[in-house]
Amino acid sequence: MLLLTRRQTIFAAIAASLAGRTAFAQSAPAKVRIALDWTPNTNHIGIYVAKAKGFYADAGLDVEILPFTDTSAGTLVSNGVADFGISSEIETLTQRAGGGDVKMVYGVVQTETARLIFKGGRDDIKSPKDLDGKTYGGFGGTWESALISAIIRNDGGKGDVKTVTLGTSAYEALDNGSIDFTLEIYTWEGIAAELENRKISRFHYSDYGIPDEQTTVIVSSDAYLSASREHARAFIQATRKGYAYSVDHPDEACELLISGSNGALMNTELVKASQKALIEGHFLKSEAGVIGTLDPAKAEALGGFLMENGILVDANGAALKEKPDFSTYYTNELLD
């Protein structure tokens, strides 16, 4: 009887140990990877806040922020290297049209943050039509020429410009006269230029017939969303909580972004001024209180513009002949 009791005790202990290990395994946080589109900046602030404040951990997630590489975040997501990525609405539309497994799942900004810029004080540039025949400093995007040409034509010009690919700072190129105009993200590059007292003039795309867009978005893939729907939902909702917190507590959020960037961000003044611009301009949170939601009307209008200008091409590089169902290019379901 004593031997049986001892055996029962040993077996019970083993069973308890195994049960404990199983429970631990079940409660271990799910690994999620998000790829950045550039070095850390205020477009990413909600992600860093959610990580630092424990919003991801509370949601049962272990989030790894992948550093920026020469490969676009959308491509990394499409190929399963990352589960999520920071991208742009234009890039996502073009990549998905070309067969990439990429889908918008969160709108970081609610309205366009990009601007067409040129050196201030130029008497020969009063409106976009004056850019005809001048030199544009580009970044290699297939959509850039269509955008620039449309802005100029909509102002009454021909849309004929010379294009060079920038190998240096856009602002330096403007200063030394190697280019006449270029593009910027106002809420970061533009704010930096203002802090440096650079004299820059700007045109808003939407003032010249270009559809408004949610410039910065978070993307995932249909493959990941199908396999890990609940983890995806948990990630997006915790991320929205991080961005909302950054709007309500900007100074703390900026400090969390800086400390989480591992030395990539040293200019505290720029970070705080950029976050201030994002908040006051209602980019992160609209005047109506919308945060994170993707706008179907904007996706449809921008997709239509890209389609009309031959920017949307299939996997073989041929321009799409039929308009895609753009509602399949994004989802707001993870925010519910």
Nearest CA among 92, 287, 70, 281 for reference residue 188: 281
Q: For the domain that residue 255 is a member of, what is the CATH number?
A: 3.40.190.10
- Structural domain tally of the chain? 2
The two structure tokens encoding residue 79: 């190929």
Is residue 149 located within the same domain as residue 77? no
pLDDT surpassing 70 at residue 322: yes
Which domain, by its residues, includes 221? 30-111+214-328
Do residues 236 and 261 share a domain?
yes
pTM: 0.90
Residue at a domain's end among 156, 191, 208: 208
In this prediction, residue 168 carries a pLDDT of 67
**293, 249: one domain:** yes
Is residue 249 included in any domain, yes or no?
A: yes
Tokens 């909509």 -> residue: 154
Task: Cite the beta strand spans of 175-265 per DSSP E.
Answer: 181-185, 200-203, 216-220
> Going by DSSP bridges, is the β-strand pair 216-220/84-88 parallel, antiparallel, or unpaired?
antiparallel
Strand pairing report for 84-88 and 30-35: parallel
* Residue 141 pLDDT: 81
Give the amino acid at 40: P
- Does residue 130 sit within a domain? yes
Statement: residue 49 has pLDDT above 60: yes
pLDDT tens for each residue of 8-29: 554 455 455 544 444 434 579 9
Are 142 and 232 part of one and the same domain? no
Q: Is the pLDDT of residue 318 over 90?
A: yes
Give per-residue pLDDT as tens, 210-269.
999 999 999 999 999 999 999 999 999 999 999 999 999 999 999 999 999 999 999 999
Q: Is 87 helix (H, G, I), strand (E, B) or coil?
A: strand
Q: How far apart are CA 147 and CA 150, in angstroms?
A: 5
Q: Which residue has the tokens 């593009």?
A: 183
CB 34 within 8 A of CB 66: yes
Average pLDDT for the chain: 92
Q: Are 131 and 261 part of one and the same domain? A: no
Task: Clarify whether residues 51 and 157 are in a common domain.
Answer: no
